Structure 1
Amino acid sequence: MNYPEFLSYDIALAACAALAVLITLLLLKAFALRHLQRLADSGRLHILRYAEQVVSSTRLPFFTGVALLAGVSQIKLSPMQDRWINYAWVVILVSQIALWGSRIISVAIGNAVARQRTADPATATHLLLAGLAGRILLWSTAALVMLDNLGFNITTLMASLGIGGIAVALAVQNILGDVFSSVSIALDKPFVIGDFIIVDNYMGTVEHVGLKTTRLRSLSGEQIVFSNAELLKCRIRNYRRMQERRVVFEFGIAYETPQQEVERLPQTLMEIVSADYLQTRFDRAHFKGYGESGLMFEVVYHVLDADYNVYMDIQQEINLALLTVLRERNVSFAYPRRMVHVTHLAEPQESAGQAGKLAA
């Protein structure tokens, strides 16, 4: 057998081996995934969900790379080529292991956040940051393992990275400021996912707290994105942590109202606001002063629930009860009015005649 025929035989053998390995791996994935799904759905072992996610996240590029390397390994190569094949094995296997680990972290964090989002939003925020930190640590370790197996001096590399890291930190100090601000948000917890906050003139519900930005969903539906560093420089009003709501409202009645009705009204307001079916605590009601159009009253009370819809329902009940009482007593609300006084002026001819008599 001459050299070209021998080479053709090796290539054909490598191709057959690669194809056989690829088909075997795909069949093994389908078999394992089917059985893992069945076992996981039966609820026997919850941990099988993670194994299912690991198998399903193993993609065709990895199988193709393993198959090609397995096929090429059937060919007789030079020592230099064998070394490069070994390097390729290291890169593919370490990368896939890191992908598996990243998938496990994502699934575990996602399940934990889903459980804690309602019970403890602060823990959910911490879990998201912990997951991101875990993935960064995982891929950093994978990169170092690859470099070590590829023959690089890790100690020298780490020292070089330390010096270069200072220069990079100076160049990206704004980004690092946002990163440290996200850590501050996670530790100090001025707000957590699900809180309704107001920042300057913007308001919305916290949807996501990331390394660089925090995102709110506004009342009108659009998403508002804040830089973490800029966000912490602003005054934040967190309405979810409100224990109760203090309400102040004013109204006016007509000046023609009899004095006895004016004197009775504060007591009536106290009775309306203190009704048993309302979640309120009455504070005060006073005849405040004289307005442009009527006698002004001010009422102060506390809603014993932070929910805005509850507050609006209570205020509506108070308004309706007040309207009913005033109509029963024939007392009208104040409304804008203007009174014009017209002074009668003398006729022009009469005025001129009187002026002539005075001149004579």
Structure 2
Amino acid sequence: MNFIYNFFMNTDFIYSGFMQTGFWGNTLYSYILSIMFFLVYLGILHFLKNVVIGRLKAMAKKTETDLDDLAVELLAKFRWFEYQLLAFYMAVRHLNRDPLFNKILIFALLIVFTYKAILIIHHLISYWVNKIAAQRNLSVAAKASVANSTRIILNAVVWVAAALFVLDNLGVNISAVLTGLGIGGVAVALAAQAILGDLFNFFVILLDKPFTIGDFVVSNETSGEIEHIGLKSTRIRSISGEIVVVSNSNLLASRIKNFRQMTSRRVTFKTGVVYQTKPECLRRIPALIKEAVTAQKEAEFERTNLSTLGDFSVDFETVYHMTSPDYNLYMASHEKILLAIMDAFTKEGIEFAYPTQTLFVNGGAKSAP
């Protein structure tokens, strides 16, 4: 384009009196040439937008990767106003421009294309966050919560960086601004260290996944289903129905039991019988309990052993496994097992023990007559 501009400027045509008429520091010929350049640049940009990008979009649809689709989407985000502004700047850069006009033009370019860069970075952030969330095997609600929270933080960082970039290009000394932000940041960090701790632990929850939305957890005295994971706190729907709000720091600092990831349930219980039970009956107790356990479809018997001789009972310990983590199914099966044991003991004449004390009184010896 510089070659074409110099070629036209060296022709004799421009030396005619009319074409040498000056307006605002430039000849009429220079303005006509700038208009021509503007139309040429606009035509090239129009070709790129409507033809080249269209063909790239068609090619991207045929590939398996989505990176080329992302690149085409980013290119397609540029609008006609931005193309026209870019063509206008390229067309008038050879003219002698008024300093005020030049500042306004540079300011317009800076604001428009900085804002466009922010939108493109936001799109890249959304793409990255959604990609990471998809790989974490989260539920739909959890993906939305995590993605929205992460986007808010990263987008805020982008806006701050963009503001500093604009101020720096406008001639503002951002060193003082950064120093002020640093001092203010230290003060804010000291005043809001609990909030920042919760914010940090939000990302720990996101990356480490100790629990996700929909998991049933027990933490200290709180037990219930995770309903929301936020930047500062996590909401748990308790068994009794109310919402319990726990800060992310306190939640991760406690010991968490996550029942959603449990694939089976190990059940241990004790059965105590009275000391007056005959030895042959004691030997039959493991078989009776095993029969009661194996009668349940979801229960897998492991063992029953005489474990201790207690203060008032002979204790047997039984261990079995529920192949399903469903708590309601466990309670229903365990109830049937206990009832079956009671029926079997009743038939065998075996008595259950309960806390009792037997007092043996040794009568004194009779005195001689």
Name the TM tier (shorter chain).
Answer: 0.5 to 0.7
Kindly indicate whether residue 161 of structure 2 is the aligned counterpart of residue 159 of structure 1: no
**2:137 alignment partner, SS class:** helix
- In structure 2, the CA distance between the partners of 1:49 and 1:248, relative to structure 1 (3 Å rule), is same
**Alpha carbons of structure 1 residues 33 and 207: separation in structure 2 relative to 1, 3 Å:** farther
* Residue equivalent to 1:117: 137
Whole-Å separation in 2 of the counterparts to 1:177 and 1:86: 42
Q: 2:325 aligns with which of 304, 308, 313?
A: 308
Instruction: Decide whether aligned partners of structure 1 residues 201 and 318 sit closer, same or farther in structure 2, where only a CA change above 3 A counts.
Output: closer
Q: Is the 8 A contact 2:293 2:300 kept in 1?
A: no
Could you tell me how far 1:317 is from its partner in structure 2?
A: 4.7
Opposite residue 281 of structure 1, the aligned amino acid is E
Matched, 1:193 2:216: no
Give 1:107 shift.
Answer: 1.1
Structure 2: which amino acid aligns with 1:101? I
Match of 2:125 among 105, 109, 123: 105
TM-score (norm 2): 0.57
Cα 1:203–1:269, aligned 2, differ >3 Å: closer, same or farther? same
Any idea what SS the aligned residue of 2:224 has? Answer: strand
Distance 2:72 2:240 in 1: 40
- SS of residue in 2 equivalent to 1:97: helix
> Matches of 2:56 and 2:192 in 1, distance apart?
48
In structure 2, what residue type is equivalent to 1:82?
N
Shift of 1:146: 2.1
- Tell me what 2:49 maps to: 28
CA distance in 2, matches of 1:233, 1:155: 39
* 1:181–1:228 contact (8 Å) kept in structure 2: yes
Q: CA RMSD in A?
A: 5.5
Q: Compute the displacement of 1:83 (Å).
A: 0.7
Answer with 199-208 or 97-106: which moved more.
Answer: 199-208
SS in 1 for 2:212: coil
1:35–1:298 distance in 2 versus 1, CA, 3 Å:
farther
Alignment of 1:284-323 (within 5 A): 284=305, 300-303=318-321, 308-309=325-326, 312-313=328-329, 316-317=332-333, 319-320=335-336
Structure-1 separation of matches of 2:293 and 2:309: 18
Identity of aligned residues (%): 26
| Aligned residue among 178, 189, 202 for 1:182 | 202
In 2, Cα distance between equivalents of 1:211 and 1:26: 46
Give the match's secondary structure for 1:106: helix
1:140–1:323: structure 2 CA closer, same or farther, 3 Å change rule? same
**2:302 equivalent to 1:281:** yes
The CA distance in 1 between the partners of 2:102 and 2:242, in whole Å, is 57
Q: How many Å apart are 1:99 and its aligned residue?
A: 1.9
Q: Normalising by structure 1, what TM-score?
A: 0.58
1:90 paired with 2:107, answer no
* Structure 1 stretch displaced more, 175-184 or 218-227: 218-227
State the AA in 1 paired with 2:247: S
Contact 1:129 1:211 (C-alpha < 8 Å) held by counterparts: yes
AA of the residue aligned to 1:196: F
Instruction: Say whether 1:228 aligns with 2:287.
Output: no
Provide structure 1 residue ranges, at least 5 long, that are not aligned to the other structure: 4-9, 119-124, 335-360
Name the CA shift for 1:313/1:54 in 2 (closer, same or farther; >3 Å).
same
Q: 1:146 aligns with which of 144, 166, 182?
A: 166
- Three-state SS of the structure 2 residue aligned to 1:117 is coil
Counterparts of 2:190 and 2:165 in 1: how far apart (Å)?
A: 28
Give the Å deviation of 1:48.
1.9
Identify unmatched segments of 5+ residues in structure 2.
Answer: 1-20, 24-30, 139-144, 352-369
Q: How far has the Cα of 1:25 moved from its partner?
A: 6.8
Q: Is the 8 A contact 1:289 1:297 kept in 2?
A: yes
SS in structure 2 at match of 1:203: strand
Structure 2: distance between partners of 1:134 and 1:206: 24
Q: Give yes or no for contact 2:223–2:239 (8 Å, CA) kept in 1.
A: no
Give the number of aligned pairs: 300
Q: Cα deviation per residue 1:80-127 (whole Å; 9 max; x = unaligned)?
A: 232122122112212212321221232133123213326xxxxxx999
Q: Does structure 1 conserve the Cα–Cα contact (< 8 Å) formed by 2:293 and 2:320?
A: no
Is residue 43 of structure 1 aligned with residue 63 of structure 2? yes
